[in-house]
Amino acid sequence: MTAPMLATLTDRYFSDPDWVFERKLDGERVIGTRSGRTATLRSRTGRILDGTYPELVRALRRQRGNFVVDGEVVAFAGNRTSFERLQQRIGLTDPVRAEASGVPVHFYLFDLLSLAGEDLTGLPLRERKRRLRAAIGFGGPLRYTAHRNTEGEELFAEACRRGWEGVIAKRADAPYRSGRSSDWLKFKCVGEQEFVIGGFTDPTGSRHGFGALLVGVYDGGELRFAGKVGTGFDHQTLTRLRSRMDALATASSPFHGAVRERGAHWVRPELVAQIGFTEWTRDGRLRHPRFLGLRRDKAARAVVRERPTGATR
């Protein structure tokens, strides 16, 4: 499997005729493959997702030819993609239970990596997109990710006005390269990224399960504490997450340096959570963090603080 190409965060927004701009979707990154009469979905870490999204597997199987596509699986809450709603599917591996969940999903395709055995990753993005539109019969749960030419700032303003997550800017003539690249850039309307769960606090009052998650990011090989997250949980999430954390219990803190939180319990740093927040404080803590869900498509050791970089064009 080809490791996916990843975007770099930037706070320098621009318009440029040599770039294309797509809506940033808040879902699960997925590589889809069709070979002969079979089709398979994999996360960006290589986990097979066929049981989680069986209707998408069927949709790929109904296509013609052999291909490898890149895209994002999403669930909607109104007209916004919702990672929180998608959580109801992410935790399921039984295809019958997944389809009975009542959460419809769509696969938004934005790149074509291989077609009829031909490796297309060296071609310019515009050419790959042209071939993608011609190769796939879009409809039902398979959607083409529309893009806008040149006007990145206009699309970004529209995205933030509509409450979307942001915009992905892509250099139009760039090949597809695995890993993080400055040829793909993220314009984000909201603060949101992955964090590693290193512990939790006791519940208080009528709360059950736990009070707050203790989360951090890796820096120089050490897990650095980034704060506690006490909102964004329903009753079911509190119960399930406490059970998973109990299975990872450890006697010592995984964080570098002292973390002084009353009633703290420590866990092995293996679970990765998606957290929304308003901003980072000067001392490296999250302001107004909110739990959005667990991620299974990123290894804990790969979680670092996302820092905006200057856009190179």
pLDDT of residue 187: 94
Residue 312 confidence (pLDDT) above 60? no
Residue 11 confidence (pLDDT) above 60? yes
Per DSSP, the residues of 8-56 read EEBS----EEEEEEEEEP-SEEEEEEEETTEEEEEETT--B-TTT-HHH
CATH number of 191-302: 2.40.50.140
What's the CA gap between 131 and 117, in Å, rounded?
A: 14
Digit-coded pLDDT (tens) for 130-167: 999 999 999 999 999 999 999 999 999 999 998 888 99
What's the CA gap between 84 and 102, in Å, rounded?
A: 14
Residue 301 confidence (pLDDT) above 90? yes
Mean pLDDT to the nearest integer, 42-56: 95
pLDDT of residue 205: 87
Mean pLDDT to the nearest integer, 174-194: 93
Per DSSP, the residues of the chain read -PPPEEEEEBS----EEEEEEEEEP-SEEEEEEEETTEEEEEETT--B-TTT-HHHHHHHHTS-S-EEEEEEEE-EETTEE-HHHHHHHHT---HHHHHTTS---EEEEEEEEEETTEE-TTS-HHHHHHHHHHHS--BTTEEE--EEEE-HHHHHHHHHHTT--EEEEEETT----SEEEEEEEEEESSEEEEEEEEEEE---TT--S-S-EEEEEEETTEEEEEEEE--S--HHHHHHHHHHHHTTEESS--BSS----TTEEEE-TT-EEEEEESEE-TTS-EES-EEEEEESSS-GGG-B----B----
CB atoms within 10 A of CB 251: 6
Mean pLDDT to the nearest integer, 29-42: 96
Digit-coded pLDDT (tens) for 203-262: 988 889 999 999 999 999 999 999 999 999 999 999 999 999 999 999 999 999 999 999
Residue 35 confidence (pLDDT) above 80? yes
Average pLDDT over all residues of the chain: 94
How many whole angstroms from its chain centre is CA 177? 18
Domain residue ranges in the chain: 5-186, 191-302
Mean pLDDT to the nearest integer, 5-18: 94
How many whole angstroms from its chain centre is CA 268? 22
pLDDT of residue 121: 98
pTM listed for this prediction: 0.82
Residue 304 confidence (pLDDT) above 70? yes
Residue 311 confidence (pLDDT) above 60? no
Query: Catalytic positions, please?
Result: 24
Classify 5-186 by CATH class.
Answer: alpha beta
pLDDT of residue 79: 82
Mean pLDDT to the nearest integer, 257-279: 94
In the block, tokens 């989680």 appear at: 52
